[in-house]
Amino acid sequence: MSMEYYSGLSVDVANSFGMLTESMRITFAAVMIMATIAIAIFMIGMYINLKKWGLGAEGYGLKPSNGSIFTFPKTLAYQMSAKGHGHGQNIFSTLIFDALLQRRALRRSPGRWVMHLAIFGGWIALCIMSIAMFVVEIIHMVGIHVLEPAVFRDMLSVPNDVFSYILLTGIIIAIFRRLFVAKARESTIAFDSVLLIGLTIIVVTGFVADGIRNGTLWGMGMQSDLAPPASLFHVVISLFFCIAYIPFSKYMHMFAGPLTLMANKGGE
């Protein structure tokens, strides 16, 4: 059975709100194609980064390697072993306290820590919920009716709103710091501005699309027939900015930071 897909809504639910037209309907296949392209670009970018990271030497005083994508993971594994240098902190402590809870940022600036944790936590939580919703839709589509997508969507409604506002709070703090905190403003570069603008657009368009669909404040009184194009824009920019663009942007620190911490076994 072909499933029509509209920003997380199956077509029967969407049609019950009278919001879909034949010309603006987003099929499940179209979303899959866009997601596949975004993931392919992401994988290419990660390959380029692994090649770049593999150009380094595998040890002190040794010649640089040939840039194989296997050089970096091999070197990382050695650094994480008992023979590698570093502070000797347990890997789980490093991942939980340094990578996840970002205690190093807390020591430097509580305000900056709140900003980072809100953006990171909100982004990751929303990503996980989107993946979970996608999996439930796929399972239902192939005929395994363990959990109805509409029921699961309702279950995610409140946490989705909570983490969306957490992410929005982090973005507002980041904008405030770059406008009114001299040190943050002076250190801001173009890459920082692009990331902040992109995140702001994604979050705002998500709230607006949902507001138009449900007739809430974020919809700003716009007609319900504007919900499909608003959601399409939100879906497309989310896929390509939050997935495809990661390896080519400063977002790579989400991967590079924890990997560096693990290589150094924690510590400052």
pLDDT of res. 82 = 64
User: How many domains does the chain contain in total?
Assistant: 1
Q: Please, what sign has the CA dihedral across residues 262, 264, 267, 268?
A: negative
255, part of any domain: yes
What's the token pair of residue 214?
């449900």
58, part of any domain: no
246, part of any domain: yes
pLDDT of res. 15 = 39
pLDDT of res. 56 = 63
CATH number, position 258: 1.20.950.20
What residues of the chain score a pLDDT lower than 70?
1-29, 56-67, 82-88, 266-268
> What pTM value is reported for the model?
0.76
Q: Please, what sign has the CA dihedral across residues 172, 164, 244, 29?
A: negative
Q: What is the 3-state secondary structure (H, E, C) of the chain?
A: CCCEEECCEEHHHHHHCCCCCCCCCCEHHHHHHHHHHHHHHHHHHHHHHHHHHCCCECCCCCCECCCCCCHHHHHHHHHHCCCCCCCCCCHHHHHHHHHHCCHHHHHHCHHHHHHHHHHHHHHHHHHHHHHHHHHHHHHHHCCCCCCCHHHHHHHHHHHHHHHHHHHHHHHHHHHHHHHHCHHHHHHCCHHHHHHHHHHHHHHHHHHHHHHHHHCCHHHCCCCHHHHHHHHHHHHHHHHHHHHHCHHHCHHHHHHHHHHHHHHCCCCC
Residues with Cβ < 8 Å from 31, sequence gap 6 or more? 5, 235
268, part of any domain: no
164, part of any domain: yes
239, part of any domain: yes
Number of CB atoms found within 10 A of residue 27's CB: 14
205, part of any domain: yes
Question: Could you report the per-residue pLDDT of 160-199, keeping only the tens digit for each?
Answer: 889 999 999 999 999 998 888 888 888 877 777 888 888 8
71, part of any domain: no
256: containing domain: 5-53+86-263
